[in-house]
Structure 1
Amino acid sequence: MAKSVTRYVCQACGAVSSRWQGQCADCKEWNTIQAEAAPAATTFSAKHSLVSGGRTFAMASLADDVVLPPRLSTSIAELDRALGGGLVPGSVTLIGGDPGIGKSTLLLQAAGRMARSGQRVTYISGEEASDQVRLRARRLGLAKADVALASETSVRDILTTLGGAPTPAMLVIDSIQTMHSDTLEGAPGTVSQVRASAQELIRYAKTSGAALILVGHVTKDGQLAGPRVLEHMVDTVLYFEGERSHQYRILRAVKNRFGGTDEIGVFAMGAEGLEEVANPSSLFLTDRAGGASVTGAVVFPALEGTRPVLCEIQALVVRVPSGATPRRAVVGWDSGRLSMLLAVLEARCGLGFGNHEVYLNVAGGLRVQDPAADLAVAAALVSALTDRPLPSDAVAFGEVALSGELRAAGLASLRLKEAAKLGFGRAMVPKGTTGGGLKINGFASLNALVEYLAPEKD
């Protein structure tokens, strides 16, 4: 009889060791290693070759002329945008986000709308009872939607039930960390259980053609919990971003085999669930209708995929007493890039931030990753340091090099057109940028921008 062997698996990264230890040697996380039963090894399994004894299967040509299935619309335009145009039959989508951010609400709304449009939808919850899901659906106005609902955590029972019923167009599993496969030992949520449960559900989706959506928990660092291989197994990975104190939510694709990874969907949490935001630029701008100039604030036309989104960059610079260590606080932007920009302003432009605290904020809770935000951040910092207000009708964008040179941003005309549409009249951009119908103030270097904003440097 095969001897049972115990192994120790890190629940954060999946690393396997022969003994327990407090810290994982691979990911350096503490108290994440748990004991699991290893697969029993026999003499037959160790020596048996896999080159024969299996079944042969037919292979198709990539050049075969076949009719591909059309994408399925979720009836939520912002969700379809993040997915690249809708759900692909047989695809697997993993959606993660902080607790309470709205993952289950969004998927229940999508399930209800698809069911009302005549699609067959199945929603299986491992965290809530069926009556709890019904109460939430009633609050969202989806009480009459014909969604097949169940509360179950056994993968065997789920697949047996689905195998005896017509294939759904969309299958929602909320969440994958609560699923349990009886082929393995271990509690739900462990690395081996998450991997095995996901593998069986993915196999069902690929063979049946159902569009599978898995909800995933996230760690305190904002990463999807469980083995990293889970993100490799699925076709699409979506992250739900935003602060629960803000009403706005950003759905961002970080992996998509059937579309781009730079598209976002914007939602606002309302009394009746998540509402789509067709014009997100209006959300991330403060009220500038008065026309007054603002010190330390400038509008940046960010580009999220093919969608320009205008947001406000706010900077505050405060002098600290001699000998004190100044703080650098950033919300919504990369702190490392802020340090680089401060160094360029000091080395190339002669502006001293060494005895000042610097606070930078992207209004509205938006997280900006566009490198063209360099010029807007620099303009806000110069304005805050010199206490010179920036024009309220101006936008700024462009990338700053370590030499102080300004480099053109991609799709500049699209950014300028969006700014013109919202009533802005001028743009501070790298030299050579044209288009958009705005008055262009072009600069070849960061030092030229500083001279323009503060002719007499302090």
Structure 2
Amino acid sequence: MPTRSPARPAKPSYRCAECGWTTAKWVGRCGECQAWGSVEETGAPVVRTTVPAQVREPARPIAEVDVEAARAAPTGVDELDRVLGGGLVPGAVVLMAGEPGVGKSTLLLDAAARVAARGRTVLYVTAEESAAQVRLRAERIGALHPRLLLASETDLATVLGHVEQAGPDLLVVDSVQTVASGQVEGAAGGVSQVREVAGALIAVAKRRGLATLLVGHVTKDGSIAGPRTLEHLVDVVCQFEGERHSRLRLLRAVKNRYGPTDEVGCFDLGEDGIVGLPDPSGLFVSRTPQPVPGTCITVTLEGRRPLLAELQALVATDTSAGNARRVTGGLESSRVAMVLAVLQRRLGVALGNRDTYVATVGGVKLTEPSVDLAAALAVTSAAVDQPLPDGLVAFGEVGLAGEVRPVTGVPRRLAEAARLGFTSAVVPTGSVPEGKAPAGMTVLEAASLADAVAHARLGEPEERRQRGGRAG
């Protein structure tokens, strides 16, 4: 048994109630989250000096460590496994964060049922809803299985008792902010309670080799609620995103000790549950029998995953008010304003007194600079009332001098466009080595916006200025 030297008293410590940051003296503003008035005294801690204990098992060479116990087991949800790096590792603790109503509980309930269908026992602890409510959701999405056990509990000790009694292979806790411990003061969701609950669940997961999924709430600014240390304690932090009025949901790994953090999972949230989308490009591209002026297809990268998206632009007739409107949807308004200014100054496209609307299809948000070129071509096409050639995609960053700058992942973008049937692509100069273009794909390199417009066969600048005054 290890022996301990007598404890010696220490000075009182202070802790931030918002993020858990600690300091030796009181301050009016937290040094971590910058919140005012959130630092409170936590009492005088006791500092102990521990005498080294006897080692039960000696250290081994790293090559002799058995890795089979750390192999990831697939959940059956391909898009979730993609983000996790192949599946759930025994003993791993995954924090699933997202806004209310985004579909976190639906996704985890579906994953729990699929794991149970593979012959493993799953314990689903719901602390926000009753067991009957979860059962109704499971019936609606087809997630009923005899090996999926359900418990409605909010007390930490009772939850740990269920774990010891059921001996599951997977534990799901929905959510970590609504479970409380009777040994800690404060209401559920507070900094002390969240830290105690998460610490106890993580200790059980590591001791039993139990894969654990924790649902976490987010604050108004989109960050994960609770102490910041919660993100450091868990092994994987996933962010579930999606617009309330859109069916598309994106799952990203913010932190992952067992796999990459640049993978993105795509899901379609419908009335019958949530379904993975291995090919989500169909949601972002409209289908019209004839080419329409003002539309351009681009290829964006979500992590390492290429996705096709359609940009639509509408340029109205001259406004008599003298104050033209600039409206964007799914794009950064500052980048669109920059593209419009470059088009007007460098190519002479008449946009000064004309209302301009630029938006994406399907509600997808595009923040990558590579969409600049597609936005420029879509606006130019709308201004001259002339459609782009059928089967054309475009991507590249536009500079203030009118140049087209290189972007990353060009081979993957071109391969995805060719797979979906597109036959030509306008790309920055020098992006594709000679002879390396995908089969059936014509690569048109553009060093400037003028080159890109010429490749798109939208006419010369003077012709566009003449058309610009008449186009509606």
Query: 3-state SS of the aligned residue for 2:64?
Result: coil
Alignment of 1:434-453 (within 5 A): 434-436=436-438, 437-452=440-455, 453=458
Whether 1:420 aligns to 2:418 is yes
User: Measured at CA, do residues 310 and 215 of structure 1 come closer, stay the same or move farther in structure 2, by a change above 3 Å?
Assistant: same
Q: Is the 8 Å Cα contact of residues 404 and 428 (structure 2) preserved in structure 1?
A: yes
Q: Is the 8 Å Cα contact of residues 241 and 251 (structure 2) preserved in structure 1?
A: yes
**Residues of 2 paired with 1:94 and 1:274: CA distance?**
19
Partner amino acid for 1:234? V
Shift of 1:162: 1.9
For residue 364 of structure 1, the aligned residue among 337, 362, 365 is 362
TM-score between the two structures when normalised by the length of structure 2: 0.83
- 1:174 counterpart residue number: 174
Q: Is the 8 Å Cα contact of residues 255 and 261 (structure 1) preserved in structure 2?
A: yes
- 2:164 counterpart residue number: 163
Partner amino acid for 1:108? L
Q: Is the 8 Å Cα contact of residues 116 and 145 (structure 2) preserved in structure 1?
A: no
**Residues of 2 paired with 1:399 and 1:136: CA distance?**
45
Shift of 1:75: 0.8
Shift of 1:350: 4.4
**Residues of 2 paired with 1:228 and 1:343: CA distance?**
42
- 2:225 counterpart residue number: 225
Superposed CA offset, 1:317-365 (max 9, x none)? 44555553x5544333333433443444455444465545443322112
Shift of 1:390: 1.8
Query: 3-state SS of the aligned residue for 1:283?
Result: helix
**Residues of 2 paired with 1:334 and 1:80: CA distance?**
31
User: Measured at CA, do residues 354 and 179 of structure 1 come closer, stay the same or move farther in structure 2, by a change above 3 Å?
Assistant: farther
Shift of 1:73: 1.0
User: Measured at CA, do residues 238 and 357 of structure 1 come closer, stay the same or move farther in structure 2, by a change above 3 Å?
Assistant: farther
Alignment of 1:9-408 (within 5 A): 9-11=16-18, 13-14=19-20, 27=33, 38-41=41-44, 45=46, 48-50=47-49, 52=51, 58-69=58-69, 70-166=71-167, 168-288=168-288, 290=289, 292-318=290-316, 320-322=319-321, 324=323, 326-351=324-349, 353=351, 355-408=353-406
* Range with greater deviation from structure 2 (314-323 or 68-77): 314-323
Query: 3-state SS of the aligned residue for 1:333?
Result: coil
Query: 3-state SS of the aligned residue for 1:227?
Result: coil
Superposed CA offset, 1:220-270 (max 9, x none)? 333222233322222222222222322222222222222222222222223
Partner amino acid for 1:214? L
Query: 3-state SS of the aligned residue for 1:364?
Result: coil
Query: 3-state SS of the aligned residue for 1:173?
Result: strand
Q: Is the 8 Å Cα contact of residues 396 and 405 (structure 2) preserved in structure 1?
A: yes
User: Measured at CA, do residues 192 and 447 of structure 1 come closer, stay the same or move farther in structure 2, by a change above 3 Å?
Assistant: farther
Percent of aligned pairs sharing the same letter: 45
**Residues of 1 paired with 2:338 and 2:231: CA distance?**
32
Partner amino acid for 1:207? R
Q: CA RMSD in A?
A: 3.2
Query: 3-state SS of the aligned residue for 1:299?
Result: strand
Query: 3-state SS of the aligned residue for 2:184?
Result: coil
**Residues of 1 paired with 2:319 and 2:200: CA distance?**
59
Partner amino acid for 1:260? P
Superposed CA offset, 1:1-43 (max 9, x none)? x9998967453x446798898x97865679xx6686x43316x
Shift of 1:105: 0.8
User: Measured at CA, do residues 205 and 431 of structure 1 come closer, stay the same or move farther in structure 2, by a change above 3 Å?
Assistant: same
Query: 3-state SS of the aligned residue for 2:260?
Result: coil
Structure ID, larger Rg: 2
Partner amino acid for 1:440? V
**Residues of 2 paired with 1:52 and 1:418: CA distance?**
60
Superposed CA offset, 1:413-452 (max 9, x none)? 3322332332322212223435122222221112322455
TM-score between the two structures when normalised by the length of structure 1: 0.85
**Residues of 2 paired with 1:191 and 1:82: CA distance?**
28
Q: Is the 8 Å Cα contact of residues 3 and 40 (structure 1) preserved in structure 2?
A: no
Shift of 1:164: 4.6
Number of residue pairs the alignment of both structures matches: 444
Partner amino acid for 1:293? P
**Residues of 1 paired with 2:352 and 2:53: CA distance?**
69
Unmatched 5+ stretches in structure 2 = 1-8, 466-472
Shift of 1:407: 3.1
**Residues of 1 paired with 2:55 and 2:183: CA distance?**
26
Alignment of 1:1-16 (within 5 A): 9-11=16-18, 13-14=19-20
Q: Is the 8 Å Cα contact of residues 349 and 450 (structure 1) preserved in structure 2?
A: no
Unmatched 5+ stretches in structure 1 = none
Superposed CA offset, 1:276-307 (max 9, x none)? 2232122221113x1x2222211112233443
User: Measured at CA, do residues 128 and 3 of structure 1 come closer, stay the same or move farther in structure 2, by a change above 3 Å?
Assistant: farther
**Residues of 1 paired with 2:311 and 2:237: CA distance?**
28
Q: Is the 8 Å Cα contact of residues 113 and 145 (structure 1) preserved in structure 2?
A: no
Partner amino acid for 1:280? P
* Range with greater deviation from structure 2 (95-104 or 337-346): 337-346
